[in-house]
Structure 1
């Protein structure tokens, strides 16, 4: 599959209006990608758990218009939001070749999140994938050629990637691989559902998201990715990610929880090590991030638990654990970790199966 295969060749321009609605989840990477090439292509492969409850719900209403320009408005939580428009404008410019009907219609984009606004959960993955799915749904209503579900998901993931790289991993679940690699079927162009036989140990895996800091990050992920261009350890990092992905694929099939913990935590800390050793260098973890990590290590050693943590490019901590430990771990979170969360806030989630049409 190449990018050319995603170009819509013909469509019915007589459709006057319509409306579509999708819910798309966020995801949490287990093997991280950090560093991008031109066109939102990752420097190294990644694999992520698709979440279940942390999702964006987006409705796109479209109506025929005249003029050769993009025309749209964005509403967030019922209020018109001008701040989101530049990102959507850039997104439309990037994908117009593949969805040429964009300038034929006015789009009213209404979006909301099931998780609290400014909660520290990155909503770009769920948000951009939800819009991409809506556009694919519209494409199907205009297209003269019917496509199968695989193509639909591949193109939705491809479009989402051009809005936000990690958004390409939010279309399907439970696990999605993104980036060419030798260990599992993968693509730089779109996310690919993990097709290995996932061990029952990882079914309904739990993710408690501890909200350490809800503020704006001092360095954005976009800037952080660019700092990998001249990073002294970039080559080794990309090699490490390939190796960790290969090991994790085996672990997901074998069910080795101890090895899972080691790989996932190593990936999280390596991600932040890249930030701390870039030029300019920066630190996104907060003191309470480290307090939580140390508490998790103490709890795991004391209780022979399979609890572990991972981090995105920020201060918040994703606490991962098997469903079998759910009751004990949430008691641990309430008694010992909630004190390190901003306003005591945390979110309970688990691994899900991807986006849904509403």
Structure 2
């Protein structure tokens, strides 16, 4: 069984002075949700997600050996401009990961990052952003330790990304990723995400995710606070049991391609996530009136047409509409005709299942 100590490197075999890498890392959308975490970003229950294709963060990290060691040194640019208000989160990431990346104090880093989706669009960028940071730093470590295997690279990148943002560990590789210990997932771990271990049914090939941007504003309750409210939650233990059972069911569904059962699990998980928020103390609601309008429209459309379209939600008001590629024309027409009016400024993003992080430039 993997432990954090597995990711503490020994003495590096090589030295480097400078260089740069550029990686992209995608966002992901959980099908079985994780809500509630323990110390050191350990999830209270396992989760499974689709990795997205188009909604991603692209990050370039340039590094230059310092003369004086001892402190973290970095500049942070967002879309080419200094972004001071992002720096505390990056500093916290450095502090959490330096035990596993001791070279962080040896270099000055210039981190230049951008998203393929609009900033403040209501799509959480922490997963893609932290995953992009993690794979860049692992590329630097691989220069210092060229014998590193690809499996170790990906596993440690996921481990590091988790320390920045829990769900970021599901954005490293794989179309479908499981995070958290589960009796039916060989190699599953609370420390990092693993690729879904079975062959996925062709019904889920290039599955589509159209994200309706209902509310692009900042949430009144952050995900971090929401997770903390699961401590002492009256329904927490039953919820954690439910997540284990739903992951077992979804494991079978992803293999047999039963779309009706897929819809039931995915929508139930989304509504359960928000039910836990409404039953917290203090309680809160992140859905908006238009979120509910969209959900009811989807239910009616599915009932009328028998098309296998469903929704899921993250910890916010936006709606992810999931559907097979072969019904894209009908679903997109439905979105245009009936749902765009519920989106802020009529905005939505078309995405699909992707493959994970990708190296763009190695210099």
TM-score by length of 2: 0.97
Partner residue in 1 for 2:275: 273
Matches within 5 A, 1:126-145: 126-143=128-145, 145=146
Partner residue in 2 for 1:23: 24
Residue 255 (structure 2) aligned to one of 253, 256, 271: 253
Q: CA RMSD in A?
A: 0.8
Partner residue in 2 for 1:98: 100
Q: By how many angstroms is 1:202 displaced?
A: 0.4
Residue 214 (structure 1) aligned to one of 213, 216, 227: 216
Partner residue in 1 for 2:336: 334
SS at 2:85 equivalent: coil
Partner residue in 1 for 2:9: 8
Cα pair 2:58 2:114 within 8 Å, conserved: yes
Q: Measure, in 2, the Cα distance between the counterparts of 1:62 and 1:352.
A: 29
Q: Measure, in 2, the Cα distance between the counterparts of 1:195 and 1:248.
A: 13
Q: Which moved more, 1:2-11 or 1:50-59?
A: 2-11
Q: Which moved more, 1:9-18 or 1:113-122?
A: 9-18
Q: By how many angstroms is 1:148 displaced?
A: 1.4
Q: By how many angstroms is 1:16 displaced?
A: 1.1
Partner residue in 2 for 1:62: 63
Partner residue in 2 for 1:323: 325
Q: In the comparison of the two structures, how many residue pairs are matched?
A: 357
Q: By how many angstroms is 1:2 displaced?
A: 1.6
Partner residue in 2 for 1:124: 126
- Report Cα offsets for 1:225-280 as digits up to 9, x if no partner: 00000100000000000000000000000100000000000000000000000000
Q: Measure, in 1, the Cα distance between the counterparts of 2:251 and 2:358.
A: 26
SS at 1:338 equivalent: helix
Residue 109 (structure 1) aligned to one of 91, 111, 121: 111
- Report Cα offsets for 1:80-101 as digits up to 9, x if no partner: 0011111111111111111100
Q: Measure, in 2, the Cα distance between the counterparts of 1:228 and 1:25.
A: 27
Q: By how many angstroms is 1:142 displaced?
A: 1.5
SS at 1:39 equivalent: helix
- Report Cα offsets for 1:271-319 as digits up to 9, x if no partner: 0000000000000000000000000000000000110000000000000
- Report Cα offsets for 1:23-42 as digits up to 9, x if no partner: 00000000000000001000
Q: By how many angstroms is 1:13 displaced?
A: 6.9
Cα pair 2:14 2:143 within 8 Å, conserved: no
**In 2 relative to 1, CA 330–116 (structure 1 residues): closer, same or farther, beyond 3 Å?**
same
Q: Measure, in 2, the Cα distance between the counterparts of 1:83 and 1:142.
A: 31
User: Is 1:244 paired with 2:282?
Assistant: no
Structure 1 unmatched ranges of 5 or more: none
Q: Measure, in 2, the Cα distance between the counterparts of 1:80 and 1:97.
A: 27
Q: Measure, in 2, the Cα distance between the counterparts of 1:37 and 1:299.
A: 40
TM-score by length of 1: 0.99
Q: Which moved more, 1:233-242 or 1:66-75?
A: 66-75
Q: Measure, in 2, the Cα distance between the counterparts of 1:256 and 1:183.
A: 19
Q: By how many angstroms is 1:67 displaced?
A: 3.1
Partner residue in 2 for 1:285: 287
Q: By how many angstroms is 1:15 displaced?
A: 1.4
Q: Measure, in 2, the Cα distance between the counterparts of 1:184 and 1:35.
A: 20
Matches within 5 A, 1:160-175: 160-175=161-176
Partner residue in 1 for 2:149: 148
